[in-house]
Amino acid sequence: METIALSLDLPRCLAAKESDRTMNSLATQKEAVRNPVIPFGVSGTGFATLDLIFPWSNRQNESGAEYFSAAGGTCANVLLTLAQLGLHVNFLSRLGRDPAGMNISDSFRQAGVNISSILHDDTISSPIILQYLGSPERGCDDHWFSRHYQGHHLPGYTGITRDQVMSATPTLTRSRAFVFDRLTPETLSAARAAHAGGALVLFEPSAIRDQALFQDALTFIDILKFSSQRLDKERLPDAWLTDVPVVIRTSGEVGLNIFFRDRPKPYRLPAIKAPRMTDSCGSGDMVTAGLLFWLGTLGIRDWQAILQGIEKGQKLAAMNCAFVGARGLFHAMDISRIKKFWLELPTDAWALKVQTVKPIAGYSRIKKYPLSRLSQQN
């Protein structure tokens, strides 16, 4: 267990009165989760990509292989999941006006996300990531990624513009939560606007490219979540984290540690075993989505609710591992069934039920489609 102990001096956006806690019995919590009375508005900005998922045997032959296609990327996965679970979601993004970009924005539209803040820019190409499925039984990872195709580097993330942030500010200030995973001056401005409106701000970085900007961002963050495999203590010193109300440090299949700024000890939550290990891609995104869904629908944001939300997110992640893709669970099953398995059934029951659904359920294969066309402008 980590030795640092941060605890929770909750700011206004996390504080909850004792009377509010006592009124929320288990029955009340279940009803609130199933039928939220007040829509919980979530805004976000960050990485959105078109994931091309190649079946187990096609790694060396992308040009003629069949693959599955789905919108992905950390921020996109979180927001799409929250939208499908019934929350009001707004996505602030800049994509190309190419087939990949239109596919991504169409996925958001179909999920019910407000896409008015998505800019399709004729001068850029939309991100594409290749995912290859492995086989743990054969001694290899269950998945791995590539940003290269036939000797070419595939397009990556392009930051939002200042004008986009200004246009989205009225929506940002009305949001009750804001999530982002890419740090630029513009995304920080968006986080500041949401924070000024009272939103809970969750930041999930994968790298630190500008230390000064990163430390500035910590001032506006309520929950910092990161992977210890990507950001170790050398890259992200503990001393930087002492003023962050909640820090979640994930460690893959081992589990995660949660530090609250004013509580004496950290909390460790082991990972929940997947009912069937098909693809662990997107597990961290499911934890984030589960946490925000739990906090949003209950309307309670104290440290106990945060721990409950993380555990709910871990369960959602375990269910998702049974399916192909970062959001395979949401392709394979309808939302009412997901919620029943996730929120109502005990572990042994949902583990058996999930295994009755095929790992690739919900996907349609695209056969021998030239990847080069996905990033070409219309």
Q: Which residue has the tokens 């909750």?
A: 10
pLDDT of residue 133: 82
- Measured distance CA(133)–CA(325) in Å, rounded: 9
Whether the CB-CB separation of 295 and 200 falls below 8 Å is answered with yes
Contacting residues for 170 by C-beta, under 8 A, at least 6 apart: none
Residues of the chain short of pLDDT 50, as ranges, are 1-26, 28, 36-38, 58, 60, 139
Contacting residues for 123 by C-beta, under 8 A, at least 6 apart: none
pLDDT of residue 9: 35
pLDDT of residue 262: 86
Whether the CB-CB separation of 153 and 122 falls below 8 Å is answered with no
Q: Which residue has the tokens 């990949």?
A: 100
pLDDT of residue 67: 83
- pLDDT tens digit sequence for 80-90: 999 999 999 99
Q: Where are the domains of the chain?
A: 18-48+74-126+159-356
- Measured distance CA(295)–CA(289) in Å, rounded: 10
Contacting residues for 313 by C-beta, under 8 A, at least 6 apart: 286, 287, 288, 289, 290, 291, 294
Under CATH, domain 18-48+74-126+159-356 is a member of which superfamily?
Answer: Ribokinase (3.40.1190.20)
Burial 269-303 (b: 16+ CB within 10 A, else e): bebbebbeebbbbbbbbbbbbbbbbbbbbbbbbbb
Q: Report which residue type is found at 349.
A: A
